């Protein structure tokens, strides 16, 4: 009997106050599995086959309706914001910061007009995210336009291949060469 009383006291003074710190699961998100057990759904999953692009951040980064950022896999556009990468690109290319930012703005405008406010489908390669927790994806418009490839084809991006994410590296290299040879986009 003493053990039961101690257990009740313990429950009242320790576990009951903790219930206010950790609210109960939302039972509307609990579903029954085929075996009769219940599985709570934690977090929200998104349908990357049909998701809205709310804005373009720059020529190769997008924001989705769920707030996630997408880094377009396999391509690189000039910087438009002050960053260490902008300074590295300037040193590497020998171009001044203003020129790089101007080209970055052209790439941004192209990407923005292509995808902003449109529903897209994402395709992932080997790695789903980068070190900045952005999704790494190949993006397709509902009409089938391959966004990453179109940006390269029109001359608004260079190549950026990081193994193991190389699924379309050969295609991008071909499109990049054609854009340069035909003076498209930034290569005018």
Q: Which two tokens stand for residue 5?
A: 């009383």
Phi and psi at 147, nearest 5°, equal -60, -50
Asked whether the beta carbons of 141 and 120 are under 8 A apart, the reply is yes
Nearest to 110, CA basis, from 77, 139, 137: 77
> Average pLDDT for residues 75-98, to the nearest whole number?
96
CATH 2.40.50.90 is held by the domain 51-187: yes
Give the pLDDT band of residue 19 (cuts 50, 70, 90).
Answer: very low
Nearest to 119, CA basis, from 54, 45, 50, 56: 50
> Average pLDDT for residues 167-184, to the nearest whole number?
98
Report angle CA 137, 141, 143 to the nearest 5 degrees: 145
Asked whether the beta carbons of 156 and 59 are under 8 A apart, the reply is yes
Arithmetic mean of pLDDT over the chain = 84
């Amino acid at each position: 009997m003493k053990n039961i009383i101690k257990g009740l006291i313990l429950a009242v003074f320790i576990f009951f106050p903790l219930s206010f710190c950790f609210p109960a699961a939302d039972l509307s998100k609990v579903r029954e599995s085929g075996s009769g057990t219940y599985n709570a759904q934690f977090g929200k999953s998104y349908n990357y086959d049909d998701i809205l692009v709310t804005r373009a951040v720059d020529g190769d980064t997008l924001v989705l309706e769920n707030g996630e950022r997408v880094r377009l896999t396999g391509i690189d556009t000039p910087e438009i914001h002050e960053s260490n990468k902008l300074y590295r690109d300037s040193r590497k290319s020998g171009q001044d910061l203003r020129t790089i930012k101007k080209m970055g703005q052209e790439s941004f405008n192209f990407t923005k007009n292509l995808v902003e406010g449109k529903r897209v489908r994402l395709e992932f390669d080997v790695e789903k995210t980068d070190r900045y927790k952005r999704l790494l994806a190949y993006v397709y418009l509902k009409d089938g336009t391959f966004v990453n490839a179109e940006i390269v084809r029109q001359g608004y991006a260079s190549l950026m291949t990081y193994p193991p994410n190389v699924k379309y590296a050969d295609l991008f290299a071909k499109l990049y060469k054609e854009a340069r040879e035909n003076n498209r986009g930034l290569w005018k």
